[in-house]
Chain A
Amino acid sequence: MNARKPRRHRVASSQVGLMLLMVAGVFAVLSPRFLTPGNLLNVCTSASVVAIVGLGMTLAIASGNFDLSVGSTAAFAGCVTVSLVQQIGVALAILAGLATGAAVGLINGLIVTELGVPAFIATLGMLTIVRGAALIYTGGRDIYLYGQTQYKILSSGLTPVLLALALAFVLWFVLQHTRFGRHILATGSNAMSARRVGVRTSLVLLGVFSIVGATAALSGLILSAQVLTGNGRLATGLELSAIAVVVLGGTPLTGGQASIAGTLQGSVLVAVINNGLNLLNVSIFYQNVTLGLLLLGTIALEALRTDRRRTKQLTTR
Chain B
Amino acid sequence: MKKSRNSVLVLGAGIAGIQASLDLAEMGVGVHLVEGTPTIGGRMPQLDKTFPTNDCSMCILSPKMSECVRHPLITLHIKSSLEKIEGAPGDFRCTVIERAKYVDPVKCVSCGLCEEKCPVKIDDVFDEGLRKTKAISRYFLQSIPSEYTINAGHCLYLTKGVCRLCEKVCPTGAINYGDMDREIELNVNAVILATGIDPYDPIGFGHFGYRRYSNVVTSLEFERMLSASGPLSGHVARASDGRAPENIAFIQCVGSRDISIDRNYCSSACCMFAIKQSIIAREHNRDLSATIFYMDIRAFGKDFDRYYEKAQEQYGVEFVRSKVAEVRELRNGNLELKYTFENGDIQHREFDMVVLSIGLQPRAGSRELSGKLDIGLNRFGFCRSDTFRPLNTTRDGVFVCGAMNGPKDNPESVVSASGAVAGAMEYLDAARYEPSAGGGGVPEKHVTGERPRIGVFVCHCGINIAGVVDVKDVAAYAAGLPNVEHAENVVYACSTDCLETIKSRVAEHDLNRVVVAACTPRTHEPLFRQTISEAGLNPYLFEMANIRDQCSWAHMDEPEQATSKSKDLVEMAVAKARGLTPLERLPIEIDPEALVIGGGLSGMSAALSIADAGHDVYLVERAEDLGGNMRDIFFNFDGSDPQEFLSGLIDRVLGHNRIKVWRKASIEDITGYVGNFRTKLTGESGELEELSHGAVVVATGGQEHETEEYQYGRSSRVVTQKEFERMLHDGSFPAGRLREVVMIQCVGSREEGRMYCSRICCSKAVKNALQLRKRKPRANIYFAVRDVRTYGFAEEHYSELRDSGALFFRYTPDSKPTAELIDPEDPHSRVRVTVLDPVLEKEVVIDADLLVLATAIDALPENLKLARMLKVPLNSDGMFLEAHVKLRPVDFATEGIFVCGLAHGPKDMSESLVQARAAAGRALTFLRKKSILAEGTIAEVRRERCSGCGYCQAVCAYSAIEVDPEEQVAVVNDALCKGCGACVASCRCGALDLRGFSNIQLYSVFNSLVRETAEGVVN
Partners in one complex: no
